[in-house]
Amino acid sequence: MITAPELTRRETLLYGAAALASTIARPALAQAQEGPERHGMSAFGDLKYRPDFKHFDYVNPNAPKGGVFSHVGATRTFNQNFLTFNSLNSFIHDSSPLTAHDVAFSLKVLKDKGHPIAQQLLRDLVDAEARDDATMVVRFAPYRARDVPLFAASLPIFSRSYYSKRPFDETTLEVPLGSGPYKVGRFEPGRHIEYERVKDWWGADLPVARGQNNFDIVRYEYYRDRDVAFEGFTAKSYLFREEFTSRTWATRYDFPALRDGRIKRYVISDDTPSGALGWFFNTRREKFKEKRLREAFIDAFDFEWTNKNIMYGSYQRTQSVFQNSDMMAIGKPSADELALLESFRGKVPDEVFGDPFVPPVSDGSGQDRMLLRKASALLQQAGFVIKDGKRVTPKGEPISVEFLLDSPSLQPHHTPFIKNLGTLGIEANLRLVDPVQYRKRVDDFDFDLTVQRFSFSSTPGDSLRSYFSSQAADLRGSQNIAGISDPVIDELIEKIIAADSRASLTTACKVLDRVIRAGRYWVPHWYKASHWLAYWDVFGRPASKPRYARGIPETWWYDHEKAAKIDQ
């Protein structure tokens, strides 16, 4: 199966068909607050590196420059897609100085005209003012989330002069100006795009950039079919691949180039919170407002059978929106959690004061009769009865649902699920649409159920609003595709944002997790805390990787001696 990640708080394609700019270094953002000037920012004020640090400890500062890194993109951001692209949000250079005026312009234009997700995350940015060419002040709302300044500092810088003559918010294949370490090279929409390293990039010698951006060319390949993409890798049409399909990883990595060592397989740990993956209900639709109906769907999905028969036992069951982290609720609430929960007693289900909801474990048969009987009982209790062999709503209307997909990779996982829903009298079908239509339908909330994966940083904040808040529920293009609108959840998000310590943040996240899981907003899928990687043996890499990232391609480099050997 495929578990390609969706956008997290700030997962971006550093070079790909998504926003690339100087996310590494730029004119300083002066903080309008009391206290000594510091050389960096962090959520709770603790900085790992001293002001005189030379480079990050997970890079090779002497890594050679040159060569090509080619792959199929593993992440997407805002309006981008894994399978194609039709717009350029990456940049070229005109050698004009980068000034604080450009930074101020960029923050303001992204807040006013950027993607709805960016607008949501910047809502607590009050103003950006350039004091002179090298100094600017960014002002935030008094009770803004701790991660808003971090998000603002990571955004791309656009040329104020360039966009004074062009509309910012139009799709275009004209290559705009930028200030990053790479510029757009050759491209063919929907097929490939190359990014060329800027040899005289202004930030190359900064400590935060040393040992990174080592490839002369970073190339993204686009395939409409994942099987064809795999064949392209075996034929050396591209050099690096992260595998997301368990069937392919288990059965297809047995070909000459791998057997003779020209291709290497590499598994690395994934220490980031895995978050939630699953079928999300569109609760804006009347039929999905009933929680017992949603829980019946959860009971009808046989994860154990699916994991064994389709996914080669590669995965564990997702339970939490903070899966694979210490923010995940486990067991009965702690004393600190109970203290926070008490203020919501009567406003939340009683179950949140006990063990958190976990999806049931089936007998692995594919049609667990006990779970299907439980699902049927829940439906009966909610007034969804059987009439003429069909499950109907309390108004007597037959229940029919459509699963929306933009890739055939998950089709096998839907079939047994749809069969079990049929056993319950629910008519279900799968609609596979092209990526552009899929994006529009999801942005417009024109679906019944669709697959989504999201995860958060180890210090979540304002990004929680875009996924779970009432404000985001009706915002077109929002990441709150389930339509969650609950004042308790809204208040808990604000408590997380206002947390003054790591401990209080973790406690509030666990309580939020309990409340969201009690809502049965999605049919949980699966996760694994590792990356499956395969690559032609032409690369060098540092001895360690960033804790919360792959570090690829940012910290790897092209090894010409290895490349010469496999080309013999």
Cα–Cα–Cα angle for 461, 467, 470, rounded to 5 degrees: 100
**Residue 259: how many CB atoms within 10 A of its CB?**
10
The pLDDT value recorded for residue 225 is 82
The pLDDT value recorded for residue 455 is 86
- Which of 244-248, 448-452, 466-470 shows the lowest per-residue confidence on average (mean pLDDT)? 244-248
Q: pLDDT class for 1, splitting at 50, 70, 90?
A: very low
- Which of 221-225, 284-288, 292-296, 470-474 shows the lowest per-residue confidence on average (mean pLDDT)? 221-225
Higher-confidence residue: 534 or 48?
Answer: 534
CB 1 within 8 A of CB 539: no
Where are the CATH 3.10.105.10 domain residues in the chain? 276-527
Whole-angstrom distance, CA of residue 25 vs CA of residue 209:
8
> What mean pLDDT comes out for the span 99-113?
86
Q: How far is CA 313 from CA 1, 246, 307, 308, 527, in A?
A: 11, 9, 5, 5, 11
Q: pLDDT class for 160, splitting at 50, 70, 90?
A: confident
Distance from the Cα of residue 429 to its chain's centroid: 27
Contacts of 48 (CB under 8 A, 6+ apart): none
The pLDDT value recorded for residue 40 is 81
Q: pLDDT class for 94, splitting at 50, 70, 90?
A: low
The pLDDT value recorded for residue 41 is 75
Higher-confidence residue: 87 or 361?
Answer: 361
Whole-angstrom distance, CA of residue 480 vs CA of residue 469:
7
Higher-confidence residue: 77 or 320?
Answer: 320
The pLDDT value recorded for residue 35 is 56
CA dihedral 381, 383, 386, 388 (to 10 degrees): 160
> How much of the chain exceeds pLDDT 70, in percent?
88
The pLDDT value recorded for residue 24 is 30
The pLDDT value recorded for residue 336 is 97
Q: How far is CA 77 from CA 215, 323, 513, 520, in A?
A: 22, 21, 24, 26
- Which tokens in the block code for residue 218? 């970073």
> How much of the chain exceeds pLDDT 90, in percent?
61
Residue entry with tokens 């799968």: 430
Do β-strands 276-281 and 557-558 pair in parallel, antiparallel, or remain unpaired? unpaired
Higher-confidence residue: 74 or 367?
Answer: 367
Whether 172 shows a pLDDT value over 70: the answer reads no
- Which tokens in the block code for residue 316? 């564990």
Whole-angstrom distance, CA of residue 356 vs CA of residue 358:
6
Mean pLDDT over the full length of the chain: 86
Whether 367 shows a pLDDT value over 60: the answer reads yes
Q: How far is CA 537 from CA 61, 74, 239, 262, 493, in A?
A: 21, 20, 8, 6, 46
The pLDDT value recorded for residue 392 is 96
The pLDDT value recorded for residue 107 is 87
- Stretch (H or E) spanning 558: strand 557-558
Q: Which of 39, 392, 1, 325 is nearest to 207 (CA)?
A: 39
Whether 129 shows a pLDDT value over 50: the answer reads yes
Whole-angstrom distance, CA of residue 408 vs CA of residue 410:
6
- Stretch (H or E) spanning 71: strand 68-71
> What mean pLDDT comes out for the span 445-465?
91
Backbone angle region of 469, left / alpha / beta, with phi > 0 → left and psi within -120 to 50 → alpha: beta
Q: pLDDT class for 157, splitting at 50, 70, 90?
A: confident
- Which tokens in the block code for residue 443? 């942005």
Q: Which of 516, 511, 529 is nearest to 480 (CA)?
A: 516
Whole-angstrom distance, CA of residue 50 vs CA of residue 446:
50
Higher-confidence residue: 74 or 127?
Answer: 127
The pLDDT value recorded for residue 510 is 98
Where are the CATH 3.40.190.10 domain residues in the chain? 29-269+530-566
Q: For the packed helices 291-300 and 411-423, what is the interaxial angle rounded to 10 degrees? A: 120
CB 18 within 8 A of CB 89: yes
Contacts of 282 (CB under 8 A, 6+ apart): 288, 445, 447, 448, 449, 450, 481, 482, 483
**CATH class assigned to 29-269+530-566:** alpha beta
Cα–Cα–Cα angle for 54, 56, 57, rounded to 5 degrees: 110
Residue type, 339: A
DSSP 3-state of 431: strand
Whole-angstrom distance, CA of residue 240 vs CA of residue 221:
11
The pLDDT value recorded for residue 79 is 36
The pLDDT value recorded for residue 463 is 86
Q: For the packed helices 502-518 and 487-498, what is the interaxial angle rounded to 10 degrees? A: 160
Whether 497 shows a pLDDT value over 80: the answer reads yes
**Residue 544: how many CB atoms within 10 A of its CB?**
11
> What mean pLDDT comes out for the span 242-260?
93
CB 465 within 8 A of CB 118: no
Higher-confidence residue: 112 or 44?
Answer: 112
Q: pLDDT class for 75, splitting at 50, 70, 90?
A: low
Q: For the packed helices 291-300 and 369-381, what is the interaxial angle rounded to 10 degrees? A: 170
The pLDDT value recorded for residue 171 is 65
Query: Quick one: fold of 276-527?
Result: Dipeptide-binding Protein; domain 3 (3.10.105)
**Residue 85: how many CB atoms within 10 A of its CB?**
25
Q: pLDDT class for 80, splitting at 50, 70, 90?
A: very low
Contacts of 86 (CB under 8 A, 6+ apart): 171, 173, 189, 190, 436
Whole-angstrom distance, CA of residue 28 vs CA of residue 124:
19
CB 214 within 8 A of CB 558: yes
DSSP 3-state of 261: coil
Contacts of 518 (CB under 8 A, 6+ apart): 348, 349, 351, 352, 356, 357
